[in-house]
Amino acid sequence: MASNGPVKDKVLTLETLNPCVKVMEYAVRGPIVARAGAIEAELKQGANKPFKRVTKANIGDCHATGQKPITFIRQVLALVTYPDVLMKSPDFPEDAKKRAQRILGACRGNSIGSYTESPGLLAIRENIAKYIKERDGYPCEPIDIAMCTGASDGIKSILTLLLTGKPGTERAGIMIPVPQYPLYSAALAEYNAYPIHYYLNEDNHWGLDVAELKRALNEAKANCKPRAICVINPGNPTGQVLTKDNIQNIIKFAHENKLFILADEVYQHNVYAKGSQFFSFKKVLMEMGTPYNTMELASFMSASKGFMGECGYRGGYTEVINLDPEVKAMYNKSISAKLCPPVSGQAVMDVITNPPQKGEPSFEQFTKEKETVLAQLNEKAKLVTSLFNSIEGITCNEVQGAMYAFPRLHLPAKAVEAAKAAGQTPDSFYCFALLEETGICTVPGSGFGEKPGTYHFRITILPQVEELKEVLGHFKDFHLKFMAQYK
């Protein structure tokens, strides 16, 4: 490989690099995933391993693990991408053409290749607002919706507003759950904000305890200026679905402590457990009436999850309510500097929030495909929960929603010692061994945060049913061998 030139000539070296970037970590694509990639390459070159393929159960990437795209979404996308020919084709149903026509009509020059308004096409934001209104039973205005490049981008845009721009104990403090989806810890590290960690209660289905929220907030007050609380519901990596009662208590806590609420609701379609139901923070806050219904809230949705799993299109939206109008103007200004989110991703959000209706030609097929994906996820959620709880040395809360199980490993002291000797956290040690012996790629719990002295790993429930059953069989054999080895 050609040399990049001497390090001494570089403007950017590890010493001069923004220190916030250096401290940032993102476990979902961390070293274990790099090793999984290397093993795949070794397998391709004919290496002899106790398994034939690597199972990527580390990331919530639905299509990558075999989930089929929803036909109607792809039809609309094909039509908006190549309208000159496909609009005339008899192979595309009229309802897909109608939606494509509406999107193209809203685009400058009738092309998805043109920039849109910074929060996204108004025509699509109207459909999103209608979807939210129907979901919650409360008004929703397109002016409160900003589409984004996946929910990740929407979340980062809101976090940016909350920064104080000051150092040390004047930094913005943002309450985030432990365990959490590492976008939050990574973004806070990047922005030099202060993460206020609150522990989810593993003994109570990973719910939120108000006493724990108070503890976390009180301890952090000396270190930062607390400004917001993030809640992920349904939870990643923990798979819990919050009860309405729990959400009400969180809202009261946020109100008492003057905190902005960030509700990460990207898994709102992914609810499986009997008795569990998704309640949006907006709905609950509105139902609670004064003084709660004027609180500042940003909620996030994505094209990447649910039944659609269109991660690669990078679609999503943020709904922000009750913002001070002057702040709202600044928010609009800040997103305008990014020009606009991808129009194809916007189109996916359009179909998700404006699916085929009864009487339209695609209604039956769309409904069948959607229900099949969700039913399979439901089956897999039950499969993993019962398997993990049937194995000695593992306990696992029910996967009520989202796309992951987060089982707890009750590791023998000898395994913990061996991990220390290897310079790894015990759950990393376990996950690396699992990968080397079975090809199953998971993420150690330490990448999401966990209570000291507890060890977990996260596994997605995304592999197809038969593959998942096979994977879980290999997992069980590995686990029992591992436990026996370190007994």
Ligand X SMILES: Cc1ncc(COP(=O)(O)O)c(C=O)c1O
> Which residues in this chain contact ligand X in the complex, by CB under 6 A?
60, 150-152, 181, 183, 232, 236, 264, 266, 302, 304, 311, 316
Q: How far is CA 161 from CA 3, 199, 228, 334, 367, in A?
A: 41, 25, 11, 9, 39
Token pair listed for 406: 């987060």
Tokens 């436990």 found at? 483
Which residue number places its CB atom closest to ligand X? 150
The residue (of 36 and 96) whose beta carbon lies closer to ligand X is 36
Whole-number minimum distance, CB 352 to ligand X, in Å?
12
Residue 220 or 230: the one with the smaller Cβ distance to ligand X is 230
Q: Cβ 77 to ligand X, closest distance in Å? A: 17
CB of 342 to ligand X, least distance (A): 12
On whether the CB atoms of residues 427 and 446 are closer than 8 A, the answer is yes
Closest CA to 257 of 174, 377, 342: 174
Q: What is the three-class DSSP state of 253?
A: helix
Least Cβ distance, residue 310 to ligand X (angstroms): 9
CB of 239 to ligand X, least distance (A): 11
Nearer to ligand X, 153 or 296 (CB): 153
Handedness of CA 352, 358, 359, 365 (dihedral sign): positive
Q: Which residues of 311-349 are buried (b: 16+ CB within 10 A; e: fewer)?
A: bebbbbbbbbbbbeeeeeeebeeebeeeebbbbbbbbbb
**Closest by alpha carbon to 151, among 284, 267, 322, 271?**
267
Cβ proximity to ligand X: between 313 and 429 the closer is 313
Q: Which of 424, 435, 410, 402 is nearest to 486 (CA)?
A: 410
Cβ proximity to ligand X: between 60 and 342 the closer is: 60
CB of 316 to ligand X, least distance (A): 4
* Least distance from ligand X to the Cβ atom of residue 430, Å: 22
Dist. CA 307–CA 70, nearest whole Å = 8
Six token digits for residue 58: 């580390």
- Indicate the pairing of strand 404-405 with strand 315-321: unpaired
44: phi then psi, degrees, rounded to nearest 5: -60, -35
CB of 156 to ligand X, least distance (A): 9
Instruction: Between 125 and 305, name the residue whose CB sits nearer to ligand X.
Output: 305
CB of 185 to ligand X, least distance (A): 12
Q: DSSP H helical segments within 90-209, as ranges? A: 94-106, 122-136, 150-162, 183-190
User: How far from 447 is each of 29, 121, 179, 392, 455, CA to CA, in Å?
Assistant: 10, 37, 8, 24, 11
Q: Which is nearer to ligand X, 202 or 264 (CB)?
A: 264
Which is closer to ligand X, CB of 60 or CB of 120? 60
Shorter beta-carbon distance to ligand X: residue 74 or 476: 74
Dihedral-angle region of residue 276 (phi above 0 means left; psi in -120 to 50 means alpha; beta otherwise): beta
